[in-house]
């Protein structure tokens, strides 16, 4: 349920940008290839602006901080934990204590160690699947958008078929039928169900880009198709792709956790999702073992939130209108809006 929702909403923002923004109000970061120097200069200043802006934007900084923290835990975590997360022990269902920071499971395993070790698996799977799905969506979306005609029709059909098949039921079916269980099938399934939205958005964007002057100029000057697509058009869609990547990673993490909760992953591997599975099957809540249940859930939520905050930032970077103006400079909302409008027009 929620898997589709998050995706849909994230991309609605992008769709809106494409359809509601009148042409002449597009962000001022599109230039023609002809004016190379100006282009480079504008690029540079764009990065600097971005860096400055980042420093002043707490949400995104927070998001990056969270994600960075989890990446760090994933890399270093398994080295620094003191308990073997797989070891059974007689301390069954102990609440958090000095010996076991997050308590123990039904079979005496240390929850803290499991959460740390699980971070690596969950993060890796989320990022890899998210990245793969985005890669596929970029390739297909850009190709469909640029070539148009029959290629576009076929690829669109392909895209739309994957869009209309509901993700979770399809994932359940695929996962149940894979001959072996494990992170690989889960990653594959998440990728299969996660690429179509981004592709559609990118296709729409590329379709409009195709008619731009700088693209016409590139074609006129004899650049190869490959170069046009990947060196001309692609850089202008970086923001959308980045937002799509982050959104897809969120989807991948949540989908993975959902599938593993249903027992469709490899339950002998420790990850956040399989921790849920075991906690649920051993009625952790009913037994009052809130620590077992809370820890992985909190991690997933925090990571998801962090990624979503990063997306806030990317959205604002790409669309200046979403940027929060600082308080106190303007007195009334009306004045803000007109000031914003004038800023962009200039």
Partner 1 sequence: MLSYPFRHGLGKVFALLSLLLVLATLLPACGSASNNSNYGGTLTVAPSPTGDYTRNFNVFASGSVLSGTQGLIYETLLFFNREDGSVKPWLASSYHLSNNATTITFKLRSGVKWSDGKPFTSADVVFTLNLIHNHPAVDYSSLWNVIKGVSAPDDQTVIVTLKQPSSPLLWYLGGQTYILPQHLWSNVSNPVTYTNPNPVGTGPYLLKSFSPQLYVFDRNPHFWQPGKPYINEIRYPSFNSNTSADLLLSQGSVDWTGLFTPNVNKTFVSRDPVHNHYWFPPNNVVTLYLNLTKYPFNTLAVRQAISAAIDRNKLYNVGEGGYEPPAHPTALVLPANKNFLSPTYANASFAVDTAKVASLLQGAGFRKGNDGIYVDKSGKRLAFNINVVSGWTDWVTDSQILASNLQAVGMDVKVNTISFNAYYGSLQTGTFDTAISWTSPGPTPYFLYNSMLASTNTAPIGQPATSNFERWSDPTTDRLLQQYTSSPDPAVQQEAIAGIQKIMVEQLPTIPLIYGATWYEYSTAHFVGWPDQQHPYAMPAPYAYPDEEIVVLNLHQA
Partner 2 sequence: MRHLLRRFGFYLVALWASITLNFLIPRLVPGNPAQVLIARLQGRIDPRAEHAMEIAFGVSHASLWRQYFEYLGNLLHGNLGISVTYFPTPVATVIGQDLPWTLLLVGTAIVISFVSGTLLGIIVAWRRGSRLDALLPPVLTFLSAIPYFWLALIMLYLLGFVLNWFPLSGGYELSIAPGWTPDFMLSAVQHALLPALTIVISSIAGWMLGMRNAMMTTLSEDYVLMAQAKGLPERRVMLTYAARNAILPNITGFALSLGFVVGGALLTEIVFSYPGIGFALLQAVQNSDYALLQGIFLIIAVAVLGANFLADLIYVALDPRVREERS
Q: Under rule CB under 8 A, which residues in 84-123 are in contact with partner 1?
A: 86, 88, 93, 106-108
Query: Please, is 4 exposed, middle or buried when counting C-beta atoms within 10 Å of its C-beta (0-12, 13-18, 19+)?
Result: middle
Site string for partner 2, 84-123 (x = CB under 8 A): ----------------------------------------
Residue 281 makes contact with partner 1 by CB under 8 A: yes
Q: Which of residues 166-185 bind partner 1 (CB under 8 A)?
A: 176-181
**CA-CA distance, 309 to 61, in Å (whole number)?**
8
- For partner 1, the closer CB: 87 or 161: 87
Residue 280 makes contact with partner 1 by CB under 8 A: yes
User: Which does residue 267 touch among partner 2, partner 1, none (CB within 5 to 8 A, set by kind)?
Assistant: partner 1
Question: Site for partner 2 (CB under 8 A): which residue of 50, 99, 165, 238?
Answer: 165
* Of 235, 243, 213, the residue nearest 308 (C-alpha): 243
**Terminal CA-CA length for the chain:** 44
Please give the C-alpha separations between residue 233 and each of 123, 137, 211, in angstroms, as whole numbers: 30, 15, 11
Q: DSSP per residue over 207-241, as a string?
A: HHHTTSHHHHHHHHTT--HHHIIIIIIHHHTHHHH
Question: Site for partner 2 (CB under 8 A): which residue of 248, 309, 313, 314?
Answer: 309
Site string for partner 2, 14-43 (x = CB under 8 A): -xxx-xxxx--x------------------
317 contacts 51 by C-beta, under 8 angstroms: no
Cα 251 from chain centre:
7
Half-sphere exposure of 20 (CA within 13 A, CB side): 8
Residue 344 makes contact with partner 2 by CB under 8 A: yes
- For partner 2, the closer CB: 20 or 346: 20
Contact residues toward partner 1 (CB under 8 A) are 86, 88, 93, 106-108, 176-181, 263, 266-268, 277-278, 280-283, 285-288
């Amino acid at each position: 349920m929620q898997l589709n929702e998050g995706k849909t909403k994230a991309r609605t923002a992008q769709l809106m940008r494409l359809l509601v923004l009148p042409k002449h109000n597009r962000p001022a970061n599109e230039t023609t290839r002809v004016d190379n120097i100006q282009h480079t200069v504008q690029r540079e200043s764009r990065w600097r602006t971005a860096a400055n802006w980042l420093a002043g934007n707490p949400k995104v900084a927070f998001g990056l901080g969270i994600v960075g923290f989890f990446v760090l835990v994933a890399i270093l975590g398994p080295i620094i934990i003191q308990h073997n997360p797989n070891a059974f022990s007689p301390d069954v269902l102990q609440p958090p204590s000095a010996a076991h920071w997050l308590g123990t499971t039904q079979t005496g395993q240390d929850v803290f160690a499991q959460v740390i070790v699980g971070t690596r698996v969950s993060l890796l799977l989320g990022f890899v699947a998210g990245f793969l799905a985005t890669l596929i969506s970029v390739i297909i979306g850009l190709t469909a958008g640029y070539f148009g005609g029959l290629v576009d029709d076929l690829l669109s059909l392909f895209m739309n078929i994957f869009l209309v098949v509901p993700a979770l039921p399809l994932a359940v079916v695929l996962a149940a039928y894979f001959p072996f269980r494990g992170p690989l099938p889960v990653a594959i399934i998440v990728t299969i169900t996660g690429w179509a939205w981004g592709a559609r958005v990118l296709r729409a964007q590329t379709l409009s880009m195709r008619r731009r002057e700088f693209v016409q100029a590139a074609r006129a000057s004899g650049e190869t198709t490959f170069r046009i697509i990947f060196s001309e058009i692609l850089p202008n869609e970086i923001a959308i792709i980045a937002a799509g990547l982050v959104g897809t990673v969120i989807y991948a993490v949540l989908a993975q956790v959902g599938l593993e909760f249903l027992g469709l992953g490899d339950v002998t591997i420790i990850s956040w999702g399989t921790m849920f599975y075991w906690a649920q099957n051993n009625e952790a809540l009913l037994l009052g073992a809130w620590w077992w249940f809370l820890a992985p859930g909190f991690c997933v939520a925090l990571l998801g939130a962090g990624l979503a905050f990063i997306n806030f930032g990317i959205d604002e970077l790409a669309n200046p209108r979403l940027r929060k103006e600082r308080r106190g400079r303007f007195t009334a909302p009306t004045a803000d809006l007109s000031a914003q409008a004038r800023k962009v027009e200039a």
